[in-house]
Amino acid sequence: GAVVSQHPSRVICKSGTSVKIECRSLDFQATTMFWYRQFPKQSLMLMATSNEGSKATYEQGVEKDKFLINHASLTLSTLTVTSAHPEDSSFYICSVPTSGGTNEQFFGPGTRLTVL
Amino acid sequence: KQEVTQIPAALSVPEGENLVLNCSFTDSAIYNLQWFRQDPGKGLTSLLLIQSSQREQTSGRLNASLDKSSGRSTLYIAASQPGDSATYLCAVRFINQAGTALIFGKGTTLSVSS
């Protein structure tokens, strides 16, 4: 399966700052990556679909101007939380769907964002 | 609306017990279903993937079944161990045109005592 890394694993920032989270597919070229968010004791919720070479597709209720996604290459997608506020504190996790017969999804280790 | 539900939300068992975790989904037109394990504050580890054409998958002490017609999947853990303590997530890929994103249940938090 695909090996997916995320950086940073944990970030604490002040309200109003912007935070960039990187998702890398280490051994698989991914034209699509997914960004999920998980609040405490809640399920993972899809935020957006990152598409290499084109605009990301956002789920209903997710502000595209606040959560900027850039899929710069087949191995890297970045999520930037702009002007972060305490309510943005969450666990952000990306996934890479593999193509072929199984279409299995492999997840990164996640990034814990805490906005003070 | 496509939804995934997991029951129970939490489960505590003594070491050695066999147990079953349940997952139900609202739309039987699924592409595949994955079971994941999530340790506190960590990412997801894929346990088993069942394609829509399959009825079950096995890996070691884990067995996952799929009944599309009734919209259910179960994860069976045999001879549970303290190391099995984690949150188990069921996720479904529904057939749609929006891509291959997964819809997750809220998970079952398992605690196995020694």
pLDDT digits (tens, 9 = 90+) for B43-74: 899 999 999 899 999 999 999 999 999 999 99
List of residues 6+ apart from B23 with CB closer than 8 A: B4, B5, B6, B33, B35, B72, B73, B74, B75, B90, B105
The nearest alpha carbon in chain B to A94 belongs to B43
Indicate the DSSP class of residue B108: E
**Do B34 and A104 contact (CB within 8 A), yes or no?**
yes
pLDDT for residue B98 is more than 60: no
Residue with tokens 């997952």: B23
Whether A37 contacts A45, CB under 8 Å: yes
CA A63 to chain centre: 14
Cβ atoms B84, B71 nearer than 8 A: no
Q: Pairing mode, if any, of strands A10-13 and B103-104?
A: unpaired
Query: What are A8-26's pLDDT values in tens digits?
Result: 999 999 999 999 999 999 9
A7 token code pair: 């950086």
Chain A residue with minimal CA distance to B49? A104
Mean pLDDT of all residues in chain B? 91
CB pairs under 8 A between A and B: 65
Q: Is the pLDDT assigned to residue B99 strictly greater than 60?
A: no
Query: Is some CB atom of chain A closer than 8 A to the CB atom of B19?
Result: no
- Which residue in chain B has the smallest CA separation from A59? B98
- For the record, the structure tokens of B3 come out as 């939804």
Residue B97 has pLDDT above 50, yes or no: no
Cα end-to-end distance, chain B, whole Å = 41
Looking at residue A54, the DSSP 8-state letter turns out to be S
Nearest CB to A108; choose among B43, B89, B103: B43
Q: What is the identity of the amino acid at A3? A: V
Secondary structure percentages of chain A, helix, strand, coil, to 5: 5, 55, 45
pLDDT of B17 above 80: yes
Residue B83 burial class via C-beta count within 10 angstroms: exposed 0-12, middle 13-18, buried 19 and up: exposed
Q: Tell me whether residues B49 and A108 touch, CB distance under 8 A.
A: no
- Unique residue bearing structure tokens 């084109």: A54
